[in-house]
Amino acid sequence: MSKITSLSDDALIAVDNIGDAARSLLHPTLRFGVTGLSRAGKTVFITSLVHNLLHGGRLPLFAAYSEGRLSSAELQPQPDDATARFQYEDHLNALLEEKTWPNSTRAISEIRIRLKYESASGWSRTFGAGELTLDIVDYPGEWLLDLPLLGKSFEQWSREALALSHLPNRSDLAEEWHKALEAVDPAANADETQARHLAAVFTDYLRACREDKTALSTLPPGRFLMPGDLEGSPALTFSPLPPSQGDAGKDSLQAMMERRYESYKSIVVKPFFREHFARIDRQIVLVDALQALNAGPAAVADLETALSDILGCFNHGKRSWLTSLFSTRTERILFAATKADHLHHENHDRLEAILSKLVEKAAERARFAGAKVDVVAMAAIRATREAEIEQEGESLPVIVGKPLAGETIDGQTFDGKTKTAIFPGDLPDNPAKAFAESEAGDLRFVRFTPPALEKTAEGITLSLPHIRLDRAMEFLFGDALR
């Protein structure tokens, strides 16, 4: 991928990094991003992570906690007055009181938590207790998909977007947009009504691709799906165009669309990259691989492309004091296949293997640059338990939970209140089979209601249950607490 920042961008990033480094001298701070595509569970992950830190969760793989060295965890005031605070309390209330999953991320937000700990090193303990501030950055998955645009011209983006739209799993969804494109001449004089119509049908196509039944991932520009205060602006009123057959002058539709595409990058994408994404030390990339597997091999291949594009935007590598001042280095990246509680544990290793296959090429590039990379199958909040049932004389491993109202399996529609046992099927034993139409298997994944908090025999209320959240925490920041 071509370089996505200019010299002026790099200079501004350096200024931000120098400020971050100066503040970190007084208060050691680690800034990690929670990223992923739509519906991967970013909000749920942050809520559960914070809750387990504050309330002492079951975290045997998180060494600072399991070894008794983590003495306290406290929420701190929002560090950036220009960025919204992650509404942890509201999301927790939705889970525990309303029994609903929190709303998806609609804008960028942060939350700060300060950890006090005893070092594992006897020498370090002589200097007193340690302290680490975690700045957790959450932002919409759709915004991630915009980052590769910084390295692409309008012509290149148009060519790629049109090629994707003609694939078998997209062509029907793009029919109205294709018809609109056939009626325009890119070399003709620009017309605002025509531009608005093209942008509208293009946005409808992107929205249709995002629906659960298709589970497609490569859907930039992301702000077309969540425009916010930019709705109706020229920066969001453009569309890919086929190559012009005539001479497209400065007043042509082609020139208008190209100007607006470049404005979108300048107004929307570059500030996000420079002010937030480029300052991240550690990264977790949440992936709803089950949704793609449910939708079929075409969606799995589309997810692989999206992850490869996204990871090409990271500046991977081991950080040093000097390089951290003048450039960004993401030194640890964790790929997490979410919703592992939708499978019996016998399939968790297979889920990890499939995710490893999905990110294989991108992960290898990151490792080559010096970054540490890991893959995990996890559930930030576990909404099911495991059981076995007898069927035709055989023991069948199942998961037990309350499917959300409206979820359907084999013609049965659930009411959101009834607990049931479900055999979701087995993932392919060979990860490559997930990409093959005839090998993907018969899978049944449904969404479940949030769980109730459990209590110990002594009546102590436990924190939110999870699967391997502690392993994720240990990889992301456990080394900073040693």
Grade residue 27 by pLDDT with cuts at 50, 70 and 90: low
338-384 pLDDT, tens per residue?
999 999 999 999 999 999 998 887 777 777 677 788 999 999 999 99
Grade residue 98 by pLDDT with cuts at 50, 70 and 90: very high
Grade residue 437 by pLDDT with cuts at 50, 70 and 90: low
Walk me through the domains of the chain, giving residue ranges and CATH numbers: 7-139+276-382+468-481 (3.40.50.300), 152-270 (no CATH)
Q: For position 13, what pLDDT does the model report?
A: 45
DSSP string, 406-431: T-EETTEEP-SS--EEE------SSG
Beta carbons within 10 angstroms of residue 54's beta carbon: 16
**At residue 325, does pLDDT exceed 50?**
no
| Side chain identity at residue 204, one-letter code | D
CA separation for the pair 239, 246 (Å, rounded): 19
CB of 146 closer than 8 Å to CB of 277: no
DSSP H or E stretch at residue 72: strand 70-76
| Side chain identity at residue 13, one-letter code | I
CB of 234 closer than 8 Å to CB of 263: yes
Q: Give the pLDDT mean for 427-445.
A: 75
Q: For position 121, what pLDDT does the model report?
A: 66
Phi and psi torsions of 436, nearest 5°: -105, 130
**At residue 467, does pLDDT exceed 90?**
yes
222-235 pLDDT, tens per residue?
889 888 788 889 99
| Side chain identity at residue 49, one-letter code | L
CB of 376 closer than 8 Å to CB of 472: yes
Q: Which two tokens stand for residue 23?
A: 């503040």
Cis peptide before 221 (omega within 30 of 0): yes
CA separation for the pair 313, 283 (Å, rounded): 12
**At residue 329, does pLDDT exceed 80?**
no
CA separation for the pair 191, 183 (Å, rounded): 13
pTM for the whole structure: 0.85
| Beta strands 420-422; 394-401: pairing state | antiparallel
Residue 266 or residue 103, greater confidence: 266
Q: How far is CA 400 from CA 390, 414, 423, in A?
A: 14, 13, 9
Q: For position 457, what pLDDT does the model report?
A: 67
